[in-house]
Amino acid sequence: MAPLDPPLTGYLAQNRRLYAQLRPDADSLEQVKRLQQSLAEHPGVNDGGRPRWIPERQIHLTLIHFGKVRDVYAAVSAAAEVSWHTYEELLADYVRETEAAMPRQPVVLEPAVLSRFGRHGRTLVLEYFPSSALMSAHERAYGVLVDFLHSCGIEDAAAFTAADPNFMFASGLRPHITLARGFAGTLPAPTRGVQGGSLPVAGAPIPATVRLESMPVVYTVLE
């Protein structure tokens, strides 16, 4: 692996985290928060312990997860000879091109179902039906990632991403918003209806749609 010799600059110096992500607009965010609050009051959800509800500032939908830039550098430089200086130049191109690939207009999605993600099913998510606009944006963003890896010297980008924990889900798209982690309770089953679906408890509607706006690729937690 090529050494990470100081002084580091830019993204590497701060070990920035990169995401291609979208965030619910103000109205949609309030609806997601109300769903979280309603679920938190559902007795079955709290069976086996209390979930950790995702705070408002972290609610988002991921298009492509890149991860921390030093972690990715370690993996890339182990597979191909690339200096940190070259890597950072390519990284700047990646950020610029990924932001250009993001949707220019808000994306509206319809909810599909509440699901459990993760190896042990401890992540509670609300899944959405993918739209053509979202699928096109993902295809563009994944193409940018593949080009970036090729430029770093990774010949088989598909095999590399499939084996790397940062990128193992990058080639596919399963749109969702994470609602809680540490979930060990009973998953309420939504029922479809004219209002977009509802949980089998009073006052716990699933939002009929979510309206999403593109976020900067360089991740910053909103205050």
* 187 burial type by CB count under 10 A (0-12 exposed, 13-18 middle, 19+ buried): middle
CB 29 within 8 A of CB 82: no
Residue 190's pLDDT is 54
Angle at 178 between CA 172 and CA 182, to 5 degrees: 115
Return the residue matching tokens 């220019």: 104
Q: Any residues with CB less than 8 A from the CB of 121 and at least 6 apart, and which?
A: 183
pLDDT at 71 over 70: yes
pTM for this model (two decimals): 0.86
Residue 45's pLDDT is 81
Burial letters 196-221, b for 16+ CB under 10 A, else e: bbbbeeeebbbbeebbbebbebbbee
Residue of higher predicted confidence among 111 and 6: 111
Q: Which domains does the chain have, with CATH numbers?
A: 10-214 (3.90.1140)
Give me the mean pLDDT over the 132-158 stretch: 97
Model confidence at 191, pLDDT cuts 50, 70, 90, reads very low
CA distances (Å), origin 222, targets 37, 54, 183: 20, 13, 24
* CA distance linking residue 183 with residue 168, whole number of Å: 23
* CA distance linking residue 102 with residue 56, whole number of Å: 22
For 87-110, write each residue's pLDDT tens digit: 999 999 999 999 999 999 999 999
* CA distance linking residue 13 with residue 9, whole number of Å: 5
* CA distance linking residue 209 with residue 150, whole number of Å: 37
